[in-house]
Amino acid sequence: MKKDSRLSNNEIVVATVAVIISFAALILSLWEGRERRLHDRLSVMPRLTFSTQVALGTPPIGVFVSNKGAGPAIVRSFTILVDGKAMAQDDFGGWQQAVGRLNIGGQWASFHSLEVGDALIVGDTSFLLEEDGPPDLQHEIRIKTAIERLSVQIVYESVYGDVRTSTLKWSGNIYEDGAPR
């Protein structure tokens, strides 16, 4: 007796369903891997924000940057602009030229730049420009006017290499920190 080599309808249905289930499992596995990688990137995404302090009686007066994200921010570039013009990079990241143009240099001004490769860890706040001058109204007005002319731009990346930019700039009557939302 010769055995029939053709598959029965039931066997064809079972084989087809098995292929469909395998294909669906493959698609689901690929999608899940993509979602996991996205989650991992977001779980270490830095977010640099700027703050300014110019009120008397609440020293120090100045500009500060904070990492309020979920991972370290690795600096790729740091640019200081006065009246929209980029300051030449020097040993202090352009601050010497900037404080000269802003007329706030002197014994009370201190500044700090971020260099390529510097990292701001989560929750870290760093002063960029700090002025501890005499506590009077003229001094506050001078500093406030100077900071209104100042912009700072920081290009940074996450540990995964995702690049972001934060910019502090004066916009009419408020500071826009330009932080990604």
Would you place residue 72 in the very low, low, confident or very high pLDDT band (cuts 50, 70, 90)? Answer: very high
Would you place residue 172 in the very low, low, confident or very high pLDDT band (cuts 50, 70, 90)? Answer: low
Residues 72 and 35 in one domain: no
pTM score, whole prediction: 0.74
Expressed as residue numbers, the domain containing 118 is 48-176
Residues 37 and 62 in one domain: no
Residues 85 and 4 in one domain: no
Q: Is the pLDDT of residue 181 over 50?
A: no
* SS3 state at 1: coil
Residues 38 and 55 in one domain: no
Cis geometry, peptide bond prior to residue 60 (ω within 30 degrees of 0): yes
Task: Report residue 82 as tokens.
Answer: 């006065």
Q: Is the pLDDT of residue 128 over 80?
A: yes
Per DSSP, 60 falls in state P
Residues 69 and 136 in one domain: yes
- % helix, strand, coil for the chain, step of 5: 30, 30, 40
Residues 52 and 38 in one domain: no
Residue 134 pLDDT:
66
Residues 138 and 156 in one domain: yes
**Domain count across the chain:** 2
Is residue 181 domain-resident?
no
Residues 93 and 130 in one domain: yes
Is residue 112 domain-resident?
yes
Residues 102 and 168 in one domain: yes
Residues 6 and 67 in one domain: no
Phi, psi for residue 73 in degrees, rounded to 5: -105, 120
Distance (Å, whole) CA 71 – CA 158: 7
